[in-house]
């Protein structure tokens, strides 16, 4: 994949799209190797690699009660606003956030760390069209800034809008869409 | 200080209370009389057996036999710690962790007590070493099984939040820290409860036993305090040790969460 490029992967549920992203992020044991800028993954530690090649799961995970505690040192209010999230949400409890809010917050968590590669698993799955548009706009800006993105999406139109290359996963293999 | 020795007749009178339990079970339809019978027979047989074994071991006074008995007790306790959790680590991970931690925690605290406070001659004197190890193992077993169960349950339940942290580049220590902390805490709760309740809500067994055996209450209390401190120390070592080892087994060299090593 080139710098600043976006690859979209689609395919039926359960075909292994998420597993592929998890493997690239080195979250599951598997065989094979990945390279970032000609440096093999095996030459860095797991955490070092995942800080560069960041996976955003479809089901977001939280480890503090309040939203704000997941953002240190300070919540990125400007970027949050661009994703349609008001500043009030950072004082809220995670369990009181809607699925769509959580999804955007987990994306935000990854965006503030500015990894060179983003692996996004259904980033706009539970979102309304308006929020989806906001997310895509931020992602497009990141692409222009040189971030590479692999996105798993069921939304063909979204893949069309964002991706430079589109692949379909079938029977565990990737084929051009 | 001469203990009042019990005769078989004394025990037979007390056994009337077991008959009373059985009668209650029959009259009220509790359907427990079978279990009460089996349990009380087991109690008598098991304890008499232990009594005679200990008498023999004490009179033998052999360091090898003492060590073997202590090792056997440690092994049984380790098995118990490993077997009490709902989920198991693959490749006997539960038992490996339990054996390592139970042995170290019990060994360290028992050795400390035998070489400083109690100082029998010789220091491994079975009359002191075996009961001491036994009582330490009791609390180590409690602390270890609670801590291990909490780690394994927690890892399974909190997979999504742990992996979210790993995906953001956290090390496994960072991602598992809250779980390690809560598991270690859980293992320490029983001994803290025991210490706070001692003397007010319960009269601890050792102390009661020594008072019944004719010891001065204040002397008995000193013994109990020493034992409680030993139990607290061994519980702490066990809860923390088990939590860290379980965390280590739940991850790999790439610092991934390896729930595939968990079964159950």
Closest-CA distance, B147 to chain A, in angstroms, reads 20
Tokens linked to B170: 């956290």
Closest chain A C-alpha to B245 CA, distance in angstroms: 20
**Residue of B90, B159, B167, B182 to mutate, testing the A interface (most A Cβ within 10 Å of its Cβ):** B167
How confident is residue B264, by pLDDT bands cut at 50, 70 and 90?
confident
- Residue A42 maps to a domain: yes
Q: What is the pLDDT at residue B1?
A: 56
Judge whether B234 and B109 are in contact, CB under 8 Å. yes
Domain limits at A33? 6-61+99-176
Peptide bond connecting B122 to the previous residue in cis, omega within 30 degrees of 0:
yes
Which of B159, B168, B182 is the best residue to mutate to test the A interface, defined by the most A CB atoms within 10 Å of its own CB?
B168
| Residue A122 forms part of a structural domain | yes
In this model, does residue B31 exceed pLDDT 60?
yes
Collect all residues of chain B within an 8 Å Cβ-Cβ radius of residue A51: 168-169
CB contact under 8 A, A47 and B256: no
CB contact under 8 A, B255 and A61: no
Sequential DSSP letters for chain A: --TT-EEEEE--TTSSHHHHHHHHTT-S--S---EETTEEGGGS-HHHHHHHEEEE-SS----SSBSGGGS-SS--HHHHHHTT--GGGGGSBGGGS-HHHHHHHHHHHHHTT--SEEEEESTTTT--HHHHHHHHHHHHHHHHTT-EEEEE-S-HHHHHHH-SEEEEEETTEEEE-
Q: pLDDT digit string (tens) for A25-64?
A: 999 999 999 999 989 999 999 999 999 999 999 999 999 9
Cross-chain Cβ contact B169/A26 below 8 Å: no
Q: What is the tally of structural domains in chain A? A: 1
How many beta carbons lie within 10 A of that of residue B3, not counting itself?
A: 11
Q: Does residue A91 fall inside a structural domain? A: no
The per-residue pLDDT for B54 is 94
Q: In the structure encoding, which two tokens stand for residue B251, read together?
A: 């991850």
Q: Is residue A155 part of a domain?
A: yes
Rg (CA), chain A: 16
Residue B24 has a CB neighbour count (10 Å cut-off) of: 13
CATH of the domain at A104: 3.40.50.300
**Token couple for A39:** 């440096």
Contact predicate B42/B54, CB 8 Å: no
Instruction: Answer whether B131's CB lies under 8 Å from A18's CB.
Output: no
Answer yes or no: is A32 within a domain. Answer: yes
What value of ipTM does the predicted structure carry?
Answer: 0.94
pLDDT tens-digit series, residues A76-128: 999 999 999 999 999 999 999 999 999 999 999 999 999 999 999 999 988 99
């Amino acid at each position: 994949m080139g710098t600043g490029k976006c690859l979209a992967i689609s395919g039926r549920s359960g075909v292994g799209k998420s597993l592929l992203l998890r493997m690239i992020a080195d979250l599951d044991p598997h065989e094979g190797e990945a390279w970032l800028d000609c440096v093999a993954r095996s030459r860095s530690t797991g955490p070092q690699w995942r800080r560069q090649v960041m996976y955003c799961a479809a089901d977001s995970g939280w480890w503090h009660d309040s939203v704000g505690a997941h953002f240190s040192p300070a919540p990125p209010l400007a970027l949050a606003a661009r994703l349609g999230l008001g500043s009030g949400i950072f004082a809220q409890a995670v369990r009181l956030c809607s699925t769509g809010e959580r999804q955007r917050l987990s994306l935000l968590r990854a965006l503030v760390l500015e990894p060179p590669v983003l692996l996004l698993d259904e980033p706009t799955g539970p979102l309304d069209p308006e929020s989806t548009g906001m997310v895509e706009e931020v992602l497009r800006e990141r692409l222009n800034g040189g971030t590479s993105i692999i996105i798993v999406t069921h939304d063909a139109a979204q893949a069309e809008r964002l991706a430079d290359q589109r692949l379909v996963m079938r029977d565990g293999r990737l084929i051009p869409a | 200080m001469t203990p009042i020795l019990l005769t078989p007749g004394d025990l037979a009178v007390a056994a009337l209370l077991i008959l009373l339990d059985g009668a209650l079970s029959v009259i009220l339809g509790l359907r427990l009389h079978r279990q009460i019978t089996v349990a009380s027979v087991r109690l008598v047989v098991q304890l008499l057996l232990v009594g005679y074994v200990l008498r023999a071991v004490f009179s033998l006074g052999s360091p090898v036999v003492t060590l073997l008995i202590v090792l056997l007790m440690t092994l049984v306790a380790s098995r118990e710690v490993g077997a009490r959790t709902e989920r198991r680590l693959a490749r006997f991970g539960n038992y490996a962790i339990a054996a390592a931690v139970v042995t170290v925690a019990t060994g360290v605290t028992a050795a400390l007590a035998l070489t400083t406070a109690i100082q029998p001659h010789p220091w491994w004197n079975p009359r002191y070493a075996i009961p001491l190890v036994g009582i330490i193992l009791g609390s180590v077993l409690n602390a270890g099984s609670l801590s291990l169960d909490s780690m394994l349950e927690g890892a399974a339940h909190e997979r999504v939040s742990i992996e979210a942290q790993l995906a953001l580049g956290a090390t496994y220590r960072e991602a598992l820290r809250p779980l390690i902390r809560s598991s270690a805490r859980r293992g320490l709760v029983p001994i803290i409860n025991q210490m706070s309740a001692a003397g007010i809500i319960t009269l601890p067994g050792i102390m009661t036993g020594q008072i019944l055996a004719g010891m001065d209450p204040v002397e008995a209390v000193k013994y109990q305090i020493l034992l409680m401190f030993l139990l607290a120390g061994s519980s702490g070592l066990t809860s923390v040790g088990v939590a860290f080892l379980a965390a280590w087994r739940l991850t790999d060299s790439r610092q991934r969460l390896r729930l595939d090593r968990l079964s159950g």
